Amino acid sequence: MARLEIEIRLRLGDFDLRIDEAAELTGVTALLGPSGSGKRTLLRIIAGLERRASGHIHYAGEAWQQPTRHLPAWRRGATLLFQDVRLFPHLNVAGNLAYAAKRANPERPGPDQAEVVGALELEDLLERQAQSLSGGEAQRVAIGRALLARPRLLLMDEPLAALDLDRRARLLDQIAGLPARFGIPVLYVTHAIEEVARVADRTILMSHGRWTAQDETSVILERLDLPDFTGGGATGALLRATVAGQIPEFALTRLSIGSQQISVPAVTQAVGSEVRLRVRARDVALATRRPESTSIRNVLEARILSVDTENDSAYAEVLLDMDGHHLRARVTRASASELGLITGQPVFALVKSIALDGRPIAGEV
Amino acid sequence: MDLTPIWLTLRLATVTTVILLLVGTPLAWWLAHSRARLVPAVEALTALPLVLPPTVLGFYLLLLFNPQAGLGAFWLKLTGDTLSFSFSGLVIASLFYSLPFVVQPLQTAFQGQGRGAMEAAATLGARPLDAFISIASPLAARGFLTAAVLGFAHTVGEFGVVLMVGGNIPGRTQVISIAIYEQVETLDYAQAHQWSALLLAFSFLTLLLVYGLNRRAAPRVG
């Protein structure tokens, strides 16, 4: 864990970045915001690549920026993973990896080349020229190169933007495992809720050059105003579930959420492993009695924590509690009024669709 | 056949090219990446020799080399030799005259690679000079080659400035182009033919080398 303290100002035309906050960075921390919110600029300021910003930055007790002194990027030990990858085109993959390894601070602990090559499956790429790699391969090499620099902080700028869905999921798995495996905190810039749900332990919300909030990812993902930070998308909740067992005859997997169970189309994770589910509010319906004869299989007992009605719209957002697990439902105000939904009331949540580990699970469940 | 003018020309072109690469590289880097307001003015100054008649450049250099004052006097005191009508004076004149031919290809090469690779190198822990040598220079290899070849060839082909600043002293300032001029003046057409053909062939082969290498290198570095 390392403390990042930022007190920074940057004006560029109409854009005004002003942040005076601190965050404990551990595991993966997401920096979530719409485009134009300044998250990429902030990442560049932290890396030491944006000299026009004024103010202070301290990381793990070291002054990275002060009004009179700007610690140059190469001395910060903050490696930035660029959206456009930026492998060195005149070197092959092995050369790119060696470039970072040779310049790594030998006093800092870190993985060696064999570990990195193994973890990111780079063995077959080592002799390839940087330009001959596909988007996913190049980004994996870039992650390996970043790790070999033995950074104290790994900054990632939408590293999956150029990849197709399948590769995104695989690379997300690898990124999520980095902090635990190599002991390096990751600050992960994105505007995709699904990526945040999959990888981030904590999330910082950014808009208009300000930090709006920071909290546990599950808390942030329950916020009603989340669409404002993702340029669309939807409100919802993040559930941590455990794989309880397989139902091979129906190709389903049973998952435990607290004392209750749901079933989803079969997933490959081993029994006992934890998975993250993102459930959008509009995919949850409510009933005051346990419904019978319905195609929706996942009916969860819950208690209403709050009912937020939006005055100008037809909808109400209902926050539900299931033994500490939260779920969010979006129903019409008319339904909320007809069912007489009030705080503390027990209800049944009907879950229509679920995204698992950042991957949508198709169809009705 | 007296080969002295050839050796003198090659020496002049080599010394000039080496100095220009050393001076021109940081200048080109600055022009390519600086946001200073001074940049356009320095760019224009650098390009001046492309459009200025060599006589104008030569005239001002003669004033600068005047052994009675300024740089000329300082040089005389330092070395015991004048700058005008000397090899050193020719080198200085050539530095000005060939500057754009070295700086412009380098500047184009540095601009073409952008800041991306250098930023990546910095966040991986490379010091600026280290990153310049290990990343920016190899990426600008074609630019360096073009700059060196054009700077060398342009110095070889220099005439007006040399004549004004260096005169026509055999073994001291008489380069090939001046020697050909004298041969024509003295109606020694046979010798003029030989040397002119030599320069023609050299210039063509040089340009062929530049364009050929640029074409071959293009897919890899571009």
Q: What is the pLDDT of residues B185-214, one digit of tens each?
A: 999 999 999 999 999 999 999 889 888 877
Exposed e or buried b per residue across B35-51, where buried means at least 16 C-beta atoms within 10 angstroms of its C-beta: eeeeeeeeeeebeebee
> What mean pLDDT is predicted for residues B36-46?
95
Q: Which pLDDT value is given to residue A357? A: 55
**Cβ contacts of B123 on chain A, cutoff 8 Å:** 47-49, 73-74, 76, 78-80, 149, 155
Residues of chain A contacting residue B128, judged by C-beta atoms under 8 Å apart: 72, 74
Inside any domain, residue A57:
yes
DSSP calls for A99-116? HHHHHS-TTS----HHHH
Determine contact: A145 vs chain B, CB below 8 A: yes
Residue A293, C-beta contacts closer than 8 angstroms, at least 6 positions apart:
none
Let me know whether A27 and A99 are in one domain: yes
Q: Could you tell me the CATH number of the domain that includes residue A316?
A: 2.40.50.100
CATH code, domain carrying A127: 3.40.50.300
Chain A residue with minimal CA distance to B116?
A86
Check whether B219 has a pLDDT greater than 50.
no
B152-179 pLDDT, tens digit per residue, is 999 999 999 999 999 889 989 999 999 9
Confidence of residue B221 (pLDDT cuts 50, 70, 90): very low
Q: What distance in Å separates residue A53's CA from the closest CA in chain B? A: 16
Closest chain B C-alpha to A88 CA, distance in angstroms: 7
Residue A45 and residue A102 in one domain: yes
CB A166 within 8 A of CB A359: no
**Residue A108 in contact with partner chain B when CB distance is under 8 A:** no
Rg (CA), chain A: 22
* Cβ contact, residue pair A48, B135, below 8 Å: no
Q: Model's pTM, two decimal places?
A: 0.77
Q: Are residues A42 and A184 in the same domain?
A: yes
Burial B3-21 (b: 16+ CB within 10 A, else e): eebbebbeebbebbbebbb
Mean pLDDT of all residues belonging to chain A: 87
**Whole-number percent of chain B with pLDDT over 70:** 96
Q: What is the mean pLDDT of residues A163-188?
A: 84
Q: Give mean pLDDT, residues A135-158.
A: 93
Domains of chain B: residue spans and CATH: 4-221 (1.10.3720.10)
Closest residue in A to B140 (Cα–Cα): A90
- Strand A69-70 relative to strand A315-322: parallel, antiparallel, unpaired? unpaired
pLDDT at residue number B175: 92
Query: Is the residue at A203 inside a domain?
Result: yes
Kindly tell me the burial class for residue A263, based on how many C-beta atoms sit within 10 Å of its own C-beta (0-12, 13-18, 19 or more).
Answer: middle
pLDDT band (50, 70, 90) for residue B217: low
The answer to whether the Cα torsion of A291, A292, A294, A296 is positive or negative is positive
Per-residue pLDDT band at B47 (split at 50, 70, 90): very high
- Give the per-residue pLDDT at A234: 67
What would the two tokens of residue A283 be?
A: 């995919």
Could A80 and B138 be called an inter-chain contact, meaning their C-beta atoms sit closer than 8 Å?
no
pLDDT confidence of residue A146: 94
Q: Are residues A83 and A203 located together in one domain of the fold?
A: yes
**Alpha-helix runs per DSSP H in B52-188:** 54-65, 70-79, 87-113, 116-123, 128-131, 137-139, 141-156, 160-166, 176-185
- State how far the Cα of B219 lies from the Cα of B222, in Å rounded to an integer: 6
Contact B166, B5 (CB under 8 A): no
pLDDT band at A167; cut points 50, 70, 90: confident
Contact A47, A57 (CB under 8 A): no
Q: Nearest CA to CA, how far is B101 from chain A (Å)?
A: 25
Give the mean model confidence (pLDDT) for residues A59-68. 93
Domain boundary among A206, A233, A260: A233
Query: In this structure, what are the phi and psi dihedrals at residue B208, rounded to the nearest 5 degrees?
Result: -60, -40
pLDDT at A109: 79
Q: Per the structure, how many domains does chain A have?
A: 2
**Structural domain harbouring A350:** 237-241+275-360
Backbone angles phi, psi at A157, to 5 degrees: -105, 95
pLDDT of the residue at A1: 73
**Per-residue pLDDT at A363 exceeds 50:** no
CA angle B104, B107, B110 (to 5 degrees): 150
* Whether residues A225 and A283 fall in one domain: no
B110 touches B137 (CB < 8 A): no
- Is the CB of residue B73 less than 8 Å away from at least one CB of chain A? no
A301 inside domain: yes
Q: In this predicted complex, what is the ipTM? A: 0.81
Is A90 in Cβ contact with B120 (below 8 Å)? no
- Interval A141-170 mean pLDDT: 87
Distance CA A94, CA A117 (A): 10
- Does residue A97 lie within any of the structural domains? yes
Which residue in the set B123, B131, B139 is minimally distant from A47, CB to CB?
B123
> Average pLDDT, stretch A137-150?
93
Do A176 and A291 have their domain in common?
Answer: no
